[in-house]
Structure 1
Amino acid sequence: MTSLLQPPLLTRLLTAERVLIAGAGGGHDVYAGLPIALALRAAGREVHLANLAFTHHYGLDGGAWVGPQLARITPDTRSAEPKFPERSLARWLRAHQLPDTVWAFASVGVKPLRAAYRALVRRLGIDAILLVDGGTDILMRGDEAGLGTPEEDMASLAAVAGLRNVPQRLVACLGFGIDAHHGVSHGLVLENLAALQREGGYLGAFSVPADSPEAALYLDAVAHARDECPERPSIVQGSVAAALRGEFGDAGPAEPVPGSEPFVNPLMTLYFGVTVEALAARNRYLDRLEGTTTTREIASAIADFREELPRLRPARAFPH
């Protein structure tokens, strides 16, 4: 039973004891789940953080590997990579006296990624998974004119969709509007959410209160990540942080893209929640990814699917 006083996404997460919050698209996506992770920990839940890692794992300490495609990243993990979001987050967590392990999944195809998820679920006794996306392109079903950057998001979605023994499998998107510079039509994002609403898979939207402790800690974590790798800041998390500070329009770290200038606004602080089951069911090509072992295979499968379509859904503008 849900209530107006509590968003359905959080209602479902609060039924779990051990929650895995995982960045679906790699990069700094895991940071998008940090406010929810902090709120759940304050409510007495055991929360673990993970991310689909873009960092090349070849230089990691041998002891970091706990299984195929799965590494345990701590503040002291060594790597030759200058941009290492998982370690940056682990260091920030330690500085705030919080559990400082961040699990890293290798960026691979669905088959090995699902095996790595399954191994981590068993290791930690997870009873809820929340995939978090910085932006909203994970909500694209495949026939839109612009998909954003779908390969990693779809690997994560398909991998978790196959973990049917986990009671709660959810998706939260933070940063509405950010994917415009990747060609995403946010009118179509809303159309897709409406379809999920009709099918019972949309769990509503709620914002991160700017004056909450979770917002303050999120802003601090994003600033810490920027300081650790100033030459490659997160455009997505930087834009959400700017929106939380009340900035508007051409603000944040994004560089102007012709035809899609940065537009920081309060909608970027909203979480949109959906169920994994409903989102996976509406995706038009997800079944084609089942046997993939590499990200390149996922990209090829998506391209093949789109070539077969008679037409793509054109971008849909807001009427007001």
Structure 2
Amino acid sequence: MTVVTSLHTNPLLTRLAGSTRILVAGAGGGFDIYSGLPLALSLLHQNKEVHLANLSFSALAGLPPDAWAAEDLAVVTPETAPHQNYFPERTLARWLRVHGYPDTVYAFPQTGVRPLRAAYRALIERHDIDAVVLVDGGTDILLRGDEAGLGTPEEDLASVAALAALDGVPDRFVVSVGFGVDAYHGVNHVQVLENIAALERDGAYLGAFSIPRATREGALYLDAVAHAQEHTPDHPSIVNGSIAAAVRGAFGDVRFTDRTRGSELFVNPLMSLDFAFDLPGLAARCLYLDRIEDTHLIRQVHSRIAEFRDSVVPRPPRTFPH
């Protein structure tokens, strides 16, 4: 059902106004949780209790037993695994401590939907969470499965599936930030816009809002991304580097890491927009979510999506009008 709000209010923040304990979680691994940092900080500055989590690409298997709050739910602090070079969750925890924010970041290992849902349930019960915001750095979380290219949807849609069928949490949302950054993964962004239009017709699109650098949250986000780039020099985030460049007003083929050597980026103001959605409404449009429902391993998610792709004729890609 569409909730009618005033033009001067943001539909997502209006929906979150009555929530007191909110989980902001990165959907697709890597530095995705950084993409949710401006929203999480905004909620913290409204005196909400905010917890952070991320589907992790870090080497969680080597963590000691006391680092686990539950099966497939690691508790990452600034002191966790000090000798690991690549550990976005710990890097973020260290930044949070420097700036005086709660400095625990939870981490989920790469699993299938069933264990990921159990880990989410354990975290939600641990903090009596009453709203979850799932954040994707990029737009492949918005693809339903029959597009020309899907990008890298496995972790994103495993996260969506885990939360879509999770009872007991009244409010679940998806936020996509970094429009256009998935182009080098084969995503056709005209089809992304087509999907957003369909979600609007379904009442599941909650509008968009920008991350201005002149805001407190925008400035802190830029600082956090710069900190992460400094402390992860061998594998900086292309997604958040692009978003941060857009927030600073950069445009076009911006160079901020050697990882993009040989490719042409198109940094633009749309990358700094947060597109917000109702998670159950988004999940209902995914054509293969039922196929990954009973998975236990991430490789099963990969294979089920591949099998689905073999069974459909993709919609032809479309170009922006010139």
Return the TM-score normalized by structure 2.
0.96
The residue number in structure 2 matching 1:153 is 156
Distance in 1 of aligned mates of 2:15 and 2:273: 18
Distance in 1 of aligned mates of 2:189 and 2:9: 26
1:93 aligns with 2:103: no
Distance in 2 of aligned mates of 1:256 and 1:213: 29
1:178 aligns with 2:170: no
SS at match of 1:48: strand
Q: How many residues align?
A: 318
RMSD: 1.3
Q: 1:257 to 1:143 in 2, by over 3 A?
A: farther
Q: Structure 2: which amino acid aligns with 1:100?
A: D
1:318 aligns with 2:315: no
Given that 2:135 and 2:174 are in contact with CA atoms closer than 8 Å, whether structure 1 keeps it comes out as yes
The residue number in structure 2 matching 1:285 is 288
In the alignment, structure 2 segments of 5+ residues that lack a partner are: none
Pick which of 278-287 and 59-68 moved more.
59-68
How does 1:76-87 map onto structure 2 within 5 Å? 76-78=79-81, 80-87=83-90
> Which among 196, 199, 206 is matched to residue 196 of structure 1?
199
How does 1:244-255 map onto structure 2 within 5 Å? 244-253=247-256, 255=259
Q: Structure 2: which amino acid aligns with 1:89?
A: L
Return the TM-score normalized by structure 1.
0.97
Distance in 1 of aligned mates of 2:186 and 2:23: 30
How does 1:1-320 map onto structure 2 within 5 Å? 1-78=4-81, 80-253=83-256, 255-256=259-260, 261-309=264-312, 311-320=313-322
In the alignment, structure 1 segments of 5+ residues that lack a partner are: none
Q: Structure 2: which amino acid aligns with 1:36?
A: L
Superposed CA offset, 1:272-316 (max 9, x none): 01111111100000011111001100000001111111x111211
Q: CA deviation at 1:37?
A: 0.7
Q: Structure 2: which amino acid aligns with 1:25?
A: G
Q: CA deviation at 1:58?
A: 2.1
Distance in 2 of aligned mates of 1:163 and 1:13: 18
Q: CA deviation at 1:79?
A: 5.5
Q: CA deviation at 1:257?
A: 7.4
